Amino acid sequence: MRRSSDDSALRRISGEACVLGGATYAVLLQIAHPSVAWGVHDHSDLAARPFDRLLGTLYFVYGTVYGTEEERQRLHAIVRALHRKVTGPDYRALDHDLLLWVAATLYHSSARLHALVFGDPGEEERALHLREASVFATALGLPGEEWPATPAEFGSYWDDTVKGLRVGEEARVITEQLLRPDNALLRVFMRVQCLLSGGLLPPDLRERFGIPWSQGHQRRFDRIVRVTRAVYPRVPRPVRVLPATLCLWSMRRGTLGPRWLAPPRPEARRRAVRTPAHPGPGVPAPPRTDPGR
């Protein structure tokens, strides 16, 4: 059966609010790679502006999946320009192995959370989602041919990389800042994220990150998954994708998030259209931008 653009697995999965449960899990996996941890530790303002950092990541994901061609070009050019500045003695943000790992964690965390809630998607859906998720890697600057071509290839890459992860001092400092923010409201949110991350991480990484775990923690994690699996799929789709809808609305109006991600003024946009700074990645413009449909 020939698939239409409405059959995009990436669109169906990325907008679901349930995949946000894996946000901190993805970050912890990323910084368990020592080179990523060094870059984040030396160049990120995660501790001072955690909400802005979260919004920046969501703008990148939602803008890449649901944005217009112009929005994707702008977002990807900004992200690549920022990454060019992230260099140090033992790391360079634009190294292909780091770009691949970061993009792989975005794909893996969303796929895993979606499967926990909705069940195994099947081989065809899994392969389609993986193929479409390559856009995250190419948006960061990775050549498309370096993205795993099949779920089996991705699984082999994932297992080999996870075996080599190491939680260093920089990663532990970032984790402390991430899981214990100064903002009281964020602390409540991060307690839930800490529990979800603890249940999703391999036990050895969970221990190295210093995330407390017990039979009680496991029971609470299992209960959350069980209740979410029973209730969440029955919620109307427009409600389930409300975070994505609001994030896109905010991104397009520059009302929240980092200033560098605010849309350009009309006159700046006209100049950018006449002389684009970067060609857009080879992704066809989507027929619609509303994740709720």
Confidence (pLDDT) at 5? 46
Q: Is residue 101 part of a domain?
A: yes
**Could you tell me if residue 118 is inside a domain?**
yes
**∠ CA(212), CA(216), CA(217), 5° rounding?**
45
In a domain, 289, yes or no: no
Q: pLDDT tens, 279-292?
A: 333 333 333 445 66
Alpha helices in 4-68 (DSSP H): 9-14, 23-31, 34-43, 50-66
Amino acid 280: pLDDT = 34
Q: Is residue 214 part of a domain?
A: yes
Contacts of 153 (CB under 8 A, 6+ apart): none
The predicted structure's pLDDT at residue 279 = 34
* Helix ranges, 180-281 (H): 184-200, 203-208, 215-231, 237-240, 242-253, 266-274
Residue 279 lies in a domain: no
Q: CA quadruple 22, 75, 85, 44: dihedral positive or negative?
A: negative
Distance separating alpha carbons of residues 75 and 40, to the nearest angstrom: 20
Cα–Cα distance between 20 and 111 in angstroms, integer?
11
Say which residue, 276 or 40, is predicted with more confidence. Answer: 40
User: Binning pLDDT at 50, 70 and 90, where does residue 254 land?
Assistant: confident
DSSP-derived 3-state class of residue 68:
coil
Q: How is the chain split among helix, strand and coil, in percent rounded to 5?
A: 70, 0, 30
Is 287 within the bounds of a domain? Answer: no
Identify whether 227 is part of a domain: yes
The pLDDT, as a whole number, for residue 82 is 84
For range 135-154, the mean pLDDT: 96
167-187 average pLDDT score: 87
| N-to-C CA span, the chain | 21
Tens digit of each residue's pLDDT (9 = 90 or more) over 82-120? 888 888 887 888 899 999 999 999 999 999 999 999 999
Looking at residue 84, its pLDDT comes to: 87
> In this predicted model, what pLDDT tens digit does every residue of 204-251 receive, in sequence order?
999 999 999 999 999 999 999 999 999 999 999 999 999 999 999 988
Q: Which domain holds residue 213?
A: 7-274
pLDDT in tens, 31-74: 999 999 988 888 776 656 666 777 888 999 999 999 999 999 99
Confirm whether 284 is domain-assigned: no
Is the separation of the CB atoms in 137 and 94 below 8 Å?
no
pTM above 0.75, yes or no: yes
Instruction: Give the Cβ contact number of residue 272 at 10 Å.
Output: 16
Domain count of the fold of the chain? 1
